[in-house]
Amino acid sequence: MSIWLVAGAIFLGVTMLVVAAGMILREKQDSQQIADRLDTFIGLKAVEQDLPTLLREPIADGPKSSVFARMSSPTAWLQDLILQADFRFGPGPFLLVSVGLAVVGVLGGLIVRFPIPLLVVAAVPGLLPLMLLYVRRRGRLKKFAGQLPDALELIARALRAGHSLPSGFQLVSQEMPAPIATEFQRAYDEQNFGVPLEDALKNLGRRVPNMDLQFFITAIQIQRQTGGDLAEILDKLGYVIRERFKLFGQVAALTAEGRLSGWILNALPILLLVALLKLNPNYVMLLFTDPLGRQMLIMAGIAQVMGAIAIRKIVNIRV
């Protein structure tokens, strides 16, 4: 049997084991929540213990929602990423999957005997879930930003028709697709359960770190304190956002050549290395077997990353 088939079988087996463990942990957590609700219903548990965390904690306290308070928890940043990406797993199962993939990478490196440090072999698959989480988060935030101008205009029309602001949130959740419908529905449900509207908007801003949304939240807070025509404010804000999108498109068209050059320059060394490994393996393997070759690879990797960052800084024009 080929050693590649053995490594693939081990990889699939351990991956399935990790996924199964995560599903079991999630089922246990759901079962515990159901049991707590039943105990509350029959009177074995106080009602206050079954309330959601959002309603139990003192929302009005500033330190609770501050960045420094959230950074005090080791998994707070991961919880925010999962919340912003609308991922189904919690921090515990997510870390379990990452550690399991890192272990699979180490075992695969030991079996196949890659001439690569085990730390690198473990880091690549171990960081894969985090990379996927960032990609999903970025795509979701980009889609939300594109839907925001239409949502603002919809809320402005609802206000002119005589509806309240929370009713405008509900209208957005009913008439528009995800992800903006999901987030506005959560904000509407929070204020419907008794959370002040300002705090529900703050939670919305934490779930969706978008600058235009922060303008929207600030405009609502100022209007509730000083008064004014909120519908007109939302119309002007939507117009500004659309004009900024047009400017983004112009900047993207002007920097397309630089971005394409960056992709080619970043991919060329890797493709050349793969081609040399295929054409003349003995010539390239010295970079992996010789200590000086490993140092050269490390320095080349660092230079590659620095070059990619420099090119990104040049073509990434902030508007």
Supply the DSSP string of 63-85, one letter for each residue: GGGSHHHHHTSTTHHHHHHHHHH
Whether the predicted pLDDT of 103 surpasses 70: yes
Task: Kindly tell me if the per-residue pLDDT of 249 is higher than 80.
Answer: yes
Using CA atoms, how far apart are residues 190 and 86, in angstroms rounded to an integer?
17
pLDDT band at 181 (very low <50, low <70, confident <90, very high): very high
Kindly state the tokens that stand for 220: 């609502």
Q: What is the pLDDT of residue 25?
A: 59
For residue 259, what is the enclosing H or E element? helix 256-279
Between 126 and 208, the higher pLDDT residue: 208
Which pLDDT belongs to residue 276? 86
pLDDT of 14 higher than 50: yes
Q: Which amino acid is at 102?
A: A
Average pLDDT over residues 222-233: 86
Above 70 in pLDDT, residue 235?
yes
Residue 51 has pLDDT above 50, yes or no: no
User: What average pLDDT does range 124-141 have in this prediction?
Assistant: 86
pLDDT higher than threshold 50 for residue 55: no
Model confidence pLDDT, tens digit, residues 273-284: 888 888 888 888
Give the pLDDT of residue 100.
81
pLDDT attached to residue 38: 52
pLDDT at 20: 58
What are the distances in angstroms from CA 254 to CA 39, 142, 247, 251, 317? 63, 20, 11, 5, 10
Count of CB atoms situated within 10 Å of the CB of 51: 13
Higher pLDDT, 59 or 125: 125
User: pLDDT grade, residue 195 (50/70/90)?
Assistant: confident
**Contacts of residue 289, Cβ cutoff 8 Å, sequence gap at least 6:** 115
Quick one: average pLDDT of 38-58?
46
The confidence band for 67, taking pLDDT boundaries of 50, 70 and 90, is: very low
Task: Map out the domains of the chain with their CATH numbers.
Answer: 3-136 (no CATH), 141-245 (1.20.81.30), 255-315 (no CATH)
Q: Judge whether residue 125 has pLDDT over 70.
A: yes
pLDDT value of residue 150: 92
Q: Give the whole-angstrom CA distance, residue 200 versus residue 84.
A: 15
Under the banding of pLDDT at 50, 70 and 90, the label for residue 118 is low
Once rounded to an integer, what is the mean pLDDT over residues 78-84?
Answer: 83
Portion of the chain with pLDDT greater than 70, in percent: 72
Q: What is the mean pLDDT of residues 141-146?
A: 91
pTM for this model (two decimals) = 0.64
Cα dihedral 249/86/83/88 (nearest 10): -160
Asked if the bond preceding 74 is cis, omega within 30° of 0, the reply is no
Please state the rounded mean pLDDT for residues 240-266.
86
**What proportion of the chain, given as a percentage, has pLDDT over 90?**
13
Q: Which of the pair, 182 or 100, is modelled with greater confidence?
A: 182
Question: Quick check: 139 and 107 in contact, CB under 8 A?
Answer: no
- Give the lowest-confidence range in 2-6, 213-217, 272-276: 2-6
| pLDDT band (50, 70, 90) for residue 314 | confident
Q: Which residues contact 96 (CB under 8 A, 6 or more apart)?
A: 18, 21, 22, 25
Q: What is the pLDDT of residue 144?
A: 92
Least trusted range by pLDDT, from 19-28, 78-87, 236-245, 251-260: 19-28
